[in-house]
């Protein structure tokens, strides 16, 4: 193996070089670049993590949150698979080829929503079914082998949203198992405590519960990167209400962006009896762009004051909108996120918002270009 390190040249990508079958890998946003020869893609990614654990003075430390957030870079959600009540129930099953296709398209990370609560016992210790644990491990390892940074979370924990007091111990018990199961995975595997707290899980209750959950995670993963977001569906307007433990610096803050909702969710039957009507377009007018810019500037101002990096964990427009509007909105949101140094994950890969047409085995080019094009 031959490795060389160049500071200030990172692009946030892993790619094969023409010389000696090597791999280039590095952090984005003006970080560093590592050139590795004689190793495959997955092994080269591990070298990146090892190098990232060194400060310029040579003292071994974990990646700081800002560097870890740059490693997330451009990502995509593998939604509607492991977040369904049972994988396949919503028409989506994960395949190994999806991870390699995502990497080859130019993405650096993948977020894998998982409904652990549908597979956990109702009584202590709230044991998670072995089959689901194995499937989750397969997904994480397949993504890692493809050279992707991985975000695994607790998704659609409906019981917790409805009755946080009753579900508190179970939520913590599930995290105790998840954290223990993945404690030996590389630092390129991040945990996200909970998707979109809402309902009776108020901001005040969530602020207390997230500290408890962090305590559970830190018992087995003291330096693991953990992602956490505000209440009311990870609404960016709620960032000021998020209270984080000041002593834990291995945290990345997330929010989700679907504004204007009347455009992104037109015809979406799952939002209620009266979904936004069809026909809403997004033309990229000065007014429309200004609204997006204002939202992202406010989030960036909060992040600067709080000293926390931001990850836009979800954004996307449902397939009932016209493709031209979807692609333009997606590009504008992506550009705003990147302008402010935020990492992101598009919602989602291959279902109703999908950037990838699973039937055709090909990317939807307008969306792919909006996400990773120039």
Question: Residue 332 corresponds to which tokens in the numbers above?
Answer: 């504008």
Nearest residue to 188 via CA among 350, 59, 26: 26
Nearest residue to 324 via CA among 366, 277, 363, 290: 366
Contact present, 310 and 342 (Cβ < 8 Å): yes
Counting other chains too, the contacts that 88-97 makes at CB distance below 8 Å and 24 or more residues apart are: 90/351, 91/351, 92/350, 92/351, 92/358, 94/139, 94/142, 96/142
Contact present, 80 and 354 (Cβ < 8 Å): no
Query: What secondary structure letter does DSSP report for 127?
Result: P
- What distance lies between CA 154 and its chain's CA centroid? 12
10 Å Cβ neighbour count for 211?
Answer: 14
- What is the distance between the alpha carbons of residues 293 and 302, in angstroms, rounded to a whole number? 14
- Angle among Cα 203, 183, 10 to the nearest 5 degrees reads 85
Contact present, 1 and 21 (Cβ < 8 Å): no
Which residue stretches of 182-253 are H helix? 203-220, 231-234
- What is the distance between the alpha carbons of residues 295 and 266, in angstroms, rounded to a whole number? 21
Helix (H) or strand (E) holding 346: strand 343-346
- What is the distance between the alpha carbons of residues 281 and 326, in angstroms, rounded to a whole number? 8
Q: How far is CA 171 from CA 80, 297, 321, in A?
A: 21, 34, 36
- What distance lies between CA 265 and its chain's CA centroid? 20
List active site positions: 196, 314
């Amino acid at each position: 193996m031959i490795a060389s390190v160049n500071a200030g040249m990172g692009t946030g990508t892993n790619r094969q070089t023409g010389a000696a079958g090597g791999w280039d890998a590095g952090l984005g946003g003006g970080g560093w670049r590592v050139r590795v020869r004689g190793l495959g893609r997955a092994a080269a990614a591990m070298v990146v993590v090892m190098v990232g654990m060194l400060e310029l003075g040579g003292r071994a430390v974990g990646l700081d949150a800002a560097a870890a957030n740059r490693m997330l870079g451009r990502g995509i959600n593998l939604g509607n698979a492991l977040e369904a009540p049972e994988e396949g129930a919503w028409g989506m099953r994960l395949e190994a080829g999806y991870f390699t296709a995502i990497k080859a398209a130019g993405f650096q990370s993948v977020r894998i929503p998982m409904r652990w609560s549908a597979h956990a016992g109702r009584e202590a210790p709230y044991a998670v079914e072995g089959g689901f644990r194995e499937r989750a491990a397969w997904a994480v390892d397949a993504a890692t082998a493809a050279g992707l940074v991985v975000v695994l979370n607790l998704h659609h924990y409906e019981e917790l949203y409805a009755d946080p007091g009753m579900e508190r111990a179970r939520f913590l018990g599930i995290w105790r198992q998840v954290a223990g199961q993945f404690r030996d995975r590389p630092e390129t595997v991040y945990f996200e405590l909970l998707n979109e707290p809402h309902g009776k899980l108020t901001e005040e209750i969530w602020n207390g519960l997230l500290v408890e959950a962090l305590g559970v995670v830190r018992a087995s993963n003291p330096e693991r990167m953990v992602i956490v977001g505000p209440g009311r569906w990870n609404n960016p307007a709620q960032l000021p209400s998020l209270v984080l433990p000041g002593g834990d610096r291995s945290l990345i803050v997330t929010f989700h962006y679907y504004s204007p909702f009347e455009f992104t969710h037109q015809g979406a039957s799952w939002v209620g009896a009266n979904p936004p009507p069809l026909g809403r377009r997004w033309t990229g007018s000065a007014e429309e762009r200004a609204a997006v810019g204002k939202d992202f500037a406010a989030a960036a101002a909060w992040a600067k004051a709080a000293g926390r990096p931001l990850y836009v964990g979800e954004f996307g427009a449902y397939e009932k909108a016209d493709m031209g509007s979807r692609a333009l909105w997606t590009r504008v949101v992506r550009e705003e996120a990147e302008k402010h140094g935020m990492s992101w994950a598009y919602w989602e890969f291959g279902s109703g918002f999908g950037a990838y047409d699973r039937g055709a085995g090909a990317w939807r080019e307008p969306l792919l270009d909006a996400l990773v094009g120039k």
